[in-house]
């Protein structure tokens, strides 16, 4: 599930010889694959704690872990923040919390693969809205067809779960836009760290209430912490490495594979099998994103990709 800290920006990879580029590429690809797999495995492990503490309890623990990681890396100077800097940070904190809660609740209702695929519509919509090319219109139609396939009416269709997945998508889109604003007003990861801290503080009483009314077992607590580490800490630190070695289009293309990874991990770890129509819908959404990236016009230099929340997504 993509639901974690914003990806750090990084300079373009330095120009090197073909042999060195090849070695760096292998390292970058391996790191991206490991980051995506960690993200989805973390979400799957976190869902194992749902029966004991529910999605709310798991999300609370994940918020704490994300805050600890980002505060250690970003080290925000909170006392120097102005109101012009604080208001987008506070909005980012609300969006961050809502995004993770809606996504994990969707995972509980419709499964990991479908929830992550629906959530992925957020960054896809942002990318397609930024251009006016015919190929992007085709990508939008392809993605729409995928969503219609996933949400086709059936007696067993969980529309609430699907709606929560779409809410997570809207939150991810808002998260991207807010991160751009925060990044322009605060240096480094200070804004993201402050937002994660506020989000964790909001979830502190929630976590206490959950612990009192549904005391977690050691196994449930361990699963929740593992979800925070694998879906927040590992992807964030991995991307610090990746974005210095991999061009933005390549990173974005690998990001698009996350719904497939989520579906596979959901099947292997949680036994959440998908039928042919579901796989077709996932393939349509992933294909729309990949097509948009592969046909994008080249720009001068490389820019870091749109921030991802690293969710399990």
Strand ranges, E, within the chain: none
Categorize the per-residue pLDDT at 7 as very low, low, confident or very high, splitting at 50, 70 and 90. very low
Q: Is the pLDDT of residue 8 over 50?
A: no
**Over 70: is that where the pLDDT of 193 sits?**
yes
Q: What pLDDT is stored for residue 20 in this prediction?
A: 41
pLDDT at 86 over 90: yes
Q: Which two tokens stand for residue 173?
A: 């889109």
DSSP run (H or E) holding 70: helix 50-74
Both tokens of residue 16? 């090197």
Which of 65-79, 138-152, 170-184 has the lowest average pLDDT? 138-152
| Interval 296-305 mean pLDDT | 50
| pTM for the whole structure | 0.80
Mean pLDDT of the region 36-44: 91
* pLDDT at residue 38 tops 80: yes
Chain mean pLDDT for the chain: 81
Averaged pLDDT, 58-62: 93
Predicted confidence (pLDDT) at residue 231 exceeds the cutoff of 60: yes
pLDDT, position 4: 45
Q: Which of 94, 112, 92 is nearest to 104 (CA)?
A: 112
CA distance 282 to 196: 30
Q: Is the pLDDT of residue 93 over 70?
A: yes
Q: Is the pLDDT of residue 311 over 80?
A: no
Cα-based distances in Å from 142 to 147, 260, 285? 9, 16, 7
- Confidence band of 292 (pLDDT split at 50, 70, 90): confident
């Amino acid at each position: 599930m993509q639901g974690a800290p914003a990806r750090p920006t990084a300079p373009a990879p330095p120009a090197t010889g073909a042999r060195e580029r090849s070695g760096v590429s292998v390292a970058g690809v391996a790191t991206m694959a490991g980051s995506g797999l960690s993200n989805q495995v973390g979400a799957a492990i976190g869902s194992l704690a749902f029966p004991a503490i529910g999605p709310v309890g798991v999300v609370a623990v994940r918020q704490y872990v994300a805050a600890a990681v980002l505060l250690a890396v970003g080290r925000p100077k909170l006392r120097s923040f102005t109101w012009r800097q604080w208001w987008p940070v506070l909005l980012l904190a609300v969006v961050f919390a809502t995004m993770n809660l809606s996504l994990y609740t969707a995972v509980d209702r419709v499964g990991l693969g479908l929830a992550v695929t629906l959530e992925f519509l957020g960054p896809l919509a942002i990318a397609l809205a930024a251009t006016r090319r015919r190929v992007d219109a085709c990508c939008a139609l392809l993605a729409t067809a995928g969503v219609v396939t996933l949400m086709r009416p059936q007696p067993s269709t969980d529309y609430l779960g699907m709606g929560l997945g779409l809410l997570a998508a809207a939150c991810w889109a808002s998260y991207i836009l807010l991160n751009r604003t925060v990044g322009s007003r605060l240096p480094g990861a200070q804004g993201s760290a402050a937002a994660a801290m506020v989000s964790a503080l909001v979830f502190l009483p929630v976590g206490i209430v959950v612990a009192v009314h549904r005391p977690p077992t050691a196994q449930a607590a361990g699963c929740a912490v593992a979800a925070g580490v694998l879906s927040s800490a590992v992807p964030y630190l991995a991307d610090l490495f990746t974005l210095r070695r991999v061009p933005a289009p390549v990173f974005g293309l690998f990001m698009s594979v996350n719904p497939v990874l989520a579906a596979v991990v959901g099947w292997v770890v949680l036994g959440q099998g998908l039928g042919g129509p579901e796989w077709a819908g996932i393939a349509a959404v992933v294909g729309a994103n990949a097509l948009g990236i592969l046909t994008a016009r080249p720009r001068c230099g490389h820019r870091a990709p749109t921030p991802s929340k690293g969710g399990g997504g």
